[in-house]
């Protein structure tokens, strides 16, 4: 045994060697002890944190890993909280889904067993399903909670455990903190009821698929246009994930008949063998799909991440080359189309709204304002959009919304990012553009001319370790204590401090409260309509700067020139903030 390993680590590891753990787990621990002291330390130096969204971590043996025991302990804590909240008032029900990642069927089964052992009725999907379908199932089946086993677009060695409440949205206050407290009380696997009750576990599948697709199709606004442009050339890739069955079915149900699939990436695999990263935000993840589009003459490329809650898009430009749309651009196209159609159909009554996160483009607000639709800003995370919908339910009508990181939600029948319905609405937007002889890029340029050219960029400054964390905090303190007067010649006219929960108008001197949860975020709004957001990452040793720069675009002919000017402006503001 390597004596250079900290004794505390060895003591924690020895519990796993002598306790009631399976032999394969003990074999892994012994291997780490004998061959990989650094790996042993990382596996046991802490407990895997159950955060406000659940668990996420590397798979393997150890207290700081995703494995059957950490999943079991988290589930027991959740079960204890559910029983505290609901007691004997009613039969508690839970829905469970999982994506394509390695060990997911095992983790889902363990979750089902622990919940059922605690007297909770479980609806377990028969095979992998998208995260948005789990959100839908919670509402459709009137469950009290839902769990999806996924690590979203993280690398293949990761897995995760995401928890939902009875509205189909992810946990929010007070439930998130209360569940965490219950999970922290589970100090040993002896406190976990692993032996399931099969009579309380019910398999679900196709019937939920049909109900989900029916509600998804109800979001369509132009079935007549789709009929005329049903043969729009589309290439879709699930990137080895859960979109493989439902997205093609949804596109077909909407009426699209010329959908080409990337066969190599239809193979369901937690190893993601054809990509370095299964993240559709990265252009390389859509590489095979773009090549397929070139071969088939398609005009629209879409790819979803492993749990099908995010979607990346590529379209042809005026040179007939494929270019990637960012999340802000896709959201702007879809919202412009949807609000235009709602207006055309005279469905706008003054009580409708859209929602976006505070780091998402202000172009959405400009578009919505044109149609007389209010925009609500929420903190980063779709759970806050779900919370907003719940608060306004019965009073106002949610149309759609999204975030810059490639997540969109069309309608309120799902309460989380929904790449399945989003793929269909993106295709419908493309069909609508085609009906006017336009491409999606041409339509986007038209939006820029009409509302202003917004260019967004994110810059992250990495500062590792304790000293790095202290430096990041000093940077935030400096921005709060001495906020900039100008950025690249434009006055800072408004400042939002989400930690102090105040908004300050420098022109009028007015201060007013921000009706948002407290968060370490600062936003600076410039005289020309630009927005700069600063926030430390909650999961990585970095501070993030989000730039949303605005300029007038007189005509489509000035697009490239204006784009270069805005890029130079972002660089100038970045330098003024000491980032380069």
- State the catalytic residues: 152
Sign of the alpha-carbon dihedral angle for 328, 329, 330, 331: positive
- DSSP letter at 59 equals B
Which stretches of 63-216 are assigned E, i.e. beta strand?
A: 93-98, 121-125, 145-149, 158-164, 201-204
Q: Helix and strand tally (H, E) in the chain? A: 18, 23
What is the DSSP pairing of strand 121-125 with strand 201-204?
Answer: parallel
Give the phi and the psi of residue 162 in degrees, each rounded to 5.
-110, 130
Q: If residue 548 lies in a helix (H) or strand (E), which one and from where to where?
A: strand 542-551
- DSSP letter at 173 equals T
Q: At what angle do helices 131-140 and 206-217 cross, to 10 degrees?
A: 100
Nearest to 68 by CA among 124, 128, 9, 26: 26
Report how far apart, in Å, the C-alpha atoms of 256 and of each of 68, 345, 435 are.
42, 22, 14
Report how far apart, in Å, the C-alpha atoms of 473 and of each of 307, 458, 491, 520, 578 are.
34, 19, 25, 10, 15
Which residue(s) pair with 93 in the sheet?
A: 121
How far is the C-alpha of 136 from the C-alpha of 158, rounded, in Å?
25
Sign of the alpha-carbon dihedral angle for 507, 508, 511, 512: negative
Contacts of 264 (CB under 8 A, 6+ apart): 274, 288
**What are the DSSP calls for 360-371, one per residue?**
S-THHHHHHHHT
How far is the C-alpha of 141 from the C-alpha of 208, rounded, in Å?
9
Q: Which two tokens stand for residue 347?
A: 């469905």
Question: Burial code of 519-550, b = ≥16 C-beta within 10 A, e = fewer?
Answer: bbbbbbbbebbbbbbbbbeeeebebbbbbbbb
Which residue(s) pair with 503 in the sheet?
A: 496, 512
Burial of 177 (0-12, 13-18, 19+ CB in 10 A): exposed
**Residue 187, helix vs strand vs coil:** coil
User: What's the chain's Rg over C-alpha atoms?
Assistant: 25
How far is the C-alpha of 257 from the C-alpha of 372, rounded, in Å?
35
């Amino acid at each position: 045994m390597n004596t250079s390993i900290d004794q505390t680590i060895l003591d924690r590891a020895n519990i796993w060697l002598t306790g009631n753990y399976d032999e394969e787990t003990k074999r892994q621990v012994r291997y780490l002890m004998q061959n990989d002291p650094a790996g042993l330390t990382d596996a046991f130096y802490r407990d895997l944190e159950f955060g406000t969204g659940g668990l996420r971590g590397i798979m393997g043996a150890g207290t700081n890993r995703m494995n059957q025991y950490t999943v079991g302990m988290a589930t027991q804590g959740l079960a204890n909280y559910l029983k505290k909240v609901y007691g004997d008032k009613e039969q508690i029900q839970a829905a469970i889904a999982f994506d394509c990642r390695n060990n997911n069927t095992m983790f889902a089964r363990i979750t089902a067993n622990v919940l059922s052992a605690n007297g909770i009725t479980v609806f377990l999907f028969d095979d992998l399903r998208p995260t948005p379908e789990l959100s839908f199932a919670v509402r459709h089946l009137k469950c009290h909670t839902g769990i999806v086993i996924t690590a979203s677009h993280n690398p293949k060695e990761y897995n995760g455990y995401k928890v939902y409440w009875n509205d189909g949205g992810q946990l929010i206050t007070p439930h998130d903190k209360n569940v965490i407290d219950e999970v922290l009380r589970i100090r040993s696997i002896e406190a976990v009821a692993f032996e399931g009750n099969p009579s309380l576990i019910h398999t679900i599948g196709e019937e939920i698929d049909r109900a989900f697709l029916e509600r998804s199709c109800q979001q369509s606004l132009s079935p007549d246009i789709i009929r005329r442009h049903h043969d729009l050339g589309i290439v879709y890739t699930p990137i080895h994930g859960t979109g493989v069955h439902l997205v093609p079915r949804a596109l077909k149900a909407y009426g699209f008949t010329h959908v080409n699939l990337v066969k190599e990436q239809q193979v369901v695999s937690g190893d993601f063998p054809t990509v370095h990263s299964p993240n559709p935000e990265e252009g390389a993840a859509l590489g095979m799909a773009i090549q397929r589009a070139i071969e088939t003459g398609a005009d629209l490329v879409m790819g979803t991440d492993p749990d099908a809650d995010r979607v990346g898009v590529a379209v042809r430009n005026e040179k007939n080359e494929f270019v990637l749309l960012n999340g802000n651009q896709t959201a702007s196209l879809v919202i412009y189309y949807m609000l235009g159609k709602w207006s055309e159909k005279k469905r706008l009554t003054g009580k409708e709204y859209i929602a976006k996160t505070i780091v998402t483009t202000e172009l959405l607000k400009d578009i919505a304002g044109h149609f007389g639709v209010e925009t609500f800003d929420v903190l980063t995370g779709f759970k806050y959009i779900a919370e907003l919908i719940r608060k306004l339910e019965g009073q106002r009508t949610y149309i759609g919304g999204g975030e810059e990181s490639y997540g969109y939600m069309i309608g309120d029948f799902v309460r989380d990012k929904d790449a399945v319905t989003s793929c269909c609405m993106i295709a419908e937007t493309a069909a609508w553009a085609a009906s006017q002889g336009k491409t999606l890029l041409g339509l986007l340029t038209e939006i820029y001319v009409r509302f202003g050219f917004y260019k967004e960029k994110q810059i992250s400054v990495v500062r590792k370790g304790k000293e790095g964390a202290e430096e990041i905090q000093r940077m935030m303190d400096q921005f709060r204590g001495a906020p900039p007067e100008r950025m690249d010649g434009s006055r800072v006219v408004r400042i939002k401090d989400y930690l102090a929960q105040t908004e300050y108008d420098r022109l009028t001197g007015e201060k007013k409260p921000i009706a948002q949860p407290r968060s370490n975020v600062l936003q600076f709004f410039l005289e020309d309509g630009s927005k700069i957001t600063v926030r430390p990452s909650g999961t990585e040793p970095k501070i993030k700067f989000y730039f949303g720069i605005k300029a007038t675009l007189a005509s489509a002919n000035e697009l490239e020139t204006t784009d270069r000017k805005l890029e130079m402006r972002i660089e100038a503001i970045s330098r003024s903030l000491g980032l380069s």
